[in-house]
Amino acid sequence: MLEEVKVTKVWLDESENECTLCGACEAICPEVFIVPEKMVLAQDPDLTLKEEIEESADSCPVGTIAIEFNHSGNRDNPF
């Protein structure tokens, strides 16, 4: 049986671009993303919201939302 893919970490990755404060991630998934200035994570982010987290990362215009799956130790989503 295939292991279920779970989000195990989400972070702001500004290694290539900076968060532009556009608010797209917060609009899609406010349980996880908050944009008071730059994006920060909610205090106890609900990482079971996998689809919303991935949609937020895909909607980020500068690719600064990083997602780790299954404790890989890497950024597993594309920039």
Write out the residues near ligand SF4 by the rule CB under 6 A. Answer: 19-25, 33, 35, 39, 60-62, 64-65
Cα torsion 16, 26, 48, 55: sign: negative
**1 or 35: CB nearest ligand SF4:** 35
**28 or 69: CB nearest ligand SF4:** 28
Least Cβ distance, residue 50 to ligand SF4 (angstroms)? 17
Q: What are the residues facing 67 on neighbouring strands? A: 10
Least Cβ distance, residue 64 to ligand SF4 (angstroms)? 5
Region for 63 from its dihedrals, namely left if φ exceeds 0, alpha if ψ lies in -120 to 50, beta otherwise: left
Q: Please state, as a whole number, how many other Cβ atoms lie within 10 Å of the Cβ of residue 18.
A: 10
Least Cβ distance, residue 3 to ligand SF4 (angstroms)? 28
